[in-house]
Amino acid sequence: MKYFLIAGEASGDLHGANLMRSLKVEDSEAEFRYFGGEMMKAEGGTLTKHISNLAFMGFVEVLKNIRVIMRNLKQAKADILFFQPDVVILIDFPGFNLKIADFAKKQQIKVFYYISPKVWAWNQKRVLKIKRLVDRMFCILPFEVDFYKGWGMDVDYIGNPLLDAIAANKSDELFQINHFLSVKPIIALLPGSRRQELEKILPVMVAAISKFPDYQFVIAGAPNFNISDYKPLIGDKELPIIFNDTYNLLLNSKAAVVASGTATLETALLKVPQVVVYKGNAISIAIARMFVKIRFISLVNLIMDQALVKELIQENCTPGKITEELGNLLHDPMYRKRVLIGYDDLEAIMGAPGASSRAAKLMIKYLKN
């Protein structure tokens, strides 16, 4: 069968690649065409638009890049018409993907949504649009099943594909030696995979490091960037930047400072105490606060429904507050233990690996039926 996939950011690229790998197991004649990144590209098929040209987050950022977004939509529609897939598989990225769902539905092409848009966070009436446009929704967060049920929509909970990616990771026992790091304990910096995140968040992270001379700070490089993207934001600081080895970086870290997003859940599942940060365009954040109706922004706290990890958002995202929270995580044993016990509870809620395989089996079943 022929599959057209659309991922719009680094986490979607990861999940898309794992899904493609599982679909190939279930369908030996699988053909892929997609918007994605390097991980999906490694699984074969045809990459027609890279995620580095797709992800814009925030109301103001979207408006600034509306022409680029419209061109990308036009290309996606043309690609779908050219490829004539059996199914379009949309991976999160709702602002873009719901428009593609509408188009595909009009072309009488089946639409699967893999990884639900965060409709539970704001404008919940979008569920009505999803019910109309999407043939099957595959959810990866436990609370989403009850949310959709409340709107009269039957969805499939397949577990979280991050568990697959973590289980597949090969641990590097000589990580610090292989990456030419010192023997000092590591604090990982994960500033995000979108350019506007990087520019807003990384300088604040860097400004906090001077209070921890006994530790070395290491930046997890996003696959859609290179060293030249980071250097202007670091200034005169000598900070290692490690690409394509984030899991091993976290496994070898005592703590982490993490931009809100999928990485917060990955960090928790790898049992690394963290402080979650986010800083964006002031107007975009102000608008978001008017509409977003959730208590937390990190996936860790949302799933646990409690403030397990500290969230420092916008005006609270300062070097001083990052320093304070890192100090608690590193030097207060009871504080640190509370976070780690919470991570154990989170792991139990998330379940076992195998989400990508379960999703692929279900997709094949629905397509054959």
Residues 84 and 173 in one domain: no
Q: Quick one: pLDDT at residue 297?
A: 86
Domain of 266 in residue numbering reads as 168-350
68: left (phi over 0), alpha (psi -120 to 50) or beta: alpha
Residue 67 has pLDDT above 70, yes or no: yes
184-219 per-position pLDDT tens digit: 999 999 999 888 889 999 999 999 999 999 999 999
Residue 9 has pLDDT above 90, yes or no: no
What average pLDDT does range 106-117 have in this prediction?
96
Residues 277 and 343 in one domain: yes
Domain CATH for 259: 3.40.50.2000
Residue 322 has pLDDT above 80, yes or no: yes
What average pLDDT does range 92-116 have in this prediction?
95
Cβ–Cβ < 8 Å for 137, 130: yes
Where does the pLDDT of residue 288 fall: very low under 50, low under 70, confident under 90, or very high at 90 and above?
low
13-39 per-position pLDDT tens digit: 989 999 999 999 999 999 999 999 999
Q: Quick one: pLDDT at residue 302?
A: 93
Between 117 and 180, residue with greater pLDDT: 180
Q: Quick one: pLDDT at residue 351?
A: 86
> How do the residues of the chain divide into helix, strand and coil, expressed in percent and rounded to 5?
50, 15, 30
What average pLDDT does range 219-233 have in this prediction?
92
Cβ–Cβ < 8 Å for 206, 235: yes
Dist CA 225 CA 191 (whole Å)? 12
Q: Quick one: pLDDT at residue 56?
A: 54
Which structure tokens are listed for 180? 């030419």
Where does the pLDDT of residue 292 fall: very low under 50, low under 70, confident under 90, or very high at 90 and above?
low
Between 63 and 107, residue with greater pLDDT: 107
E strand segments, 234-293: 241-243, 253-259, 274-278
Residues 46 and 150 in one domain: yes
Residues 29 and 143 in one domain: yes
Residues 360 and 339 in one domain: no
Residue 125 has pLDDT above 90, yes or no: no
Residues 137 and 176 in one domain: no
Residue 59 has pLDDT above 70, yes or no: no
Give the count of beta carbons closer than 10 Å to the beta carbon of residue 78: 11
Share of the chain above pLDDT 90, in %: 76
Average pLDDT, the chain: 91
Residues 130 and 231 in one domain: no
Those residues whose C-beta lies under 8 Å from the C-beta of residue 236, and which sit 6 or more positions away, are none
At residue 36, φ and ψ (nearest 5 deg) are: -170, -150
Where does the pLDDT of residue 2 fall: very low under 50, low under 70, confident under 90, or very high at 90 and above?
very high
Residues 111 and 217 in one domain: no
Share of the chain above pLDDT 70, in %: 93
Q: pTM for this one? A: 0.80
Residue 250 has pLDDT above 70, yes or no: yes
Q: Tell me 185's DSSP state.
A: P
Strand partners, 23: none
Dist CA 89 CA 111 (whole Å)? 6
Residues 198 and 289 in one domain: yes
Which structure tokens are listed for 263? 């990485």
Strand partners, 48: none
Residue 341 has pLDDT above 80, yes or no: yes
Q: Quick one: pLDDT at residue 57?
A: 53
Residues 326 and 262 in one domain: yes
Rg (CA), the chain: 20
Residues 340 and 362 in one domain: no
The domain total for the chain is 2
132-175 per-position pLDDT tens digit: 999 999 999 988 999 999 999 999 999 998 898 899 899 999 99
Where does the pLDDT of residue 232 fall: very low under 50, low under 70, confident under 90, or very high at 90 and above?
very high
Give the count of beta carbons closer than 10 Å to the beta carbon of residue 369: 5
Residues 222 and 314 in one domain: yes
How many residues does this entry show for the chain? 369
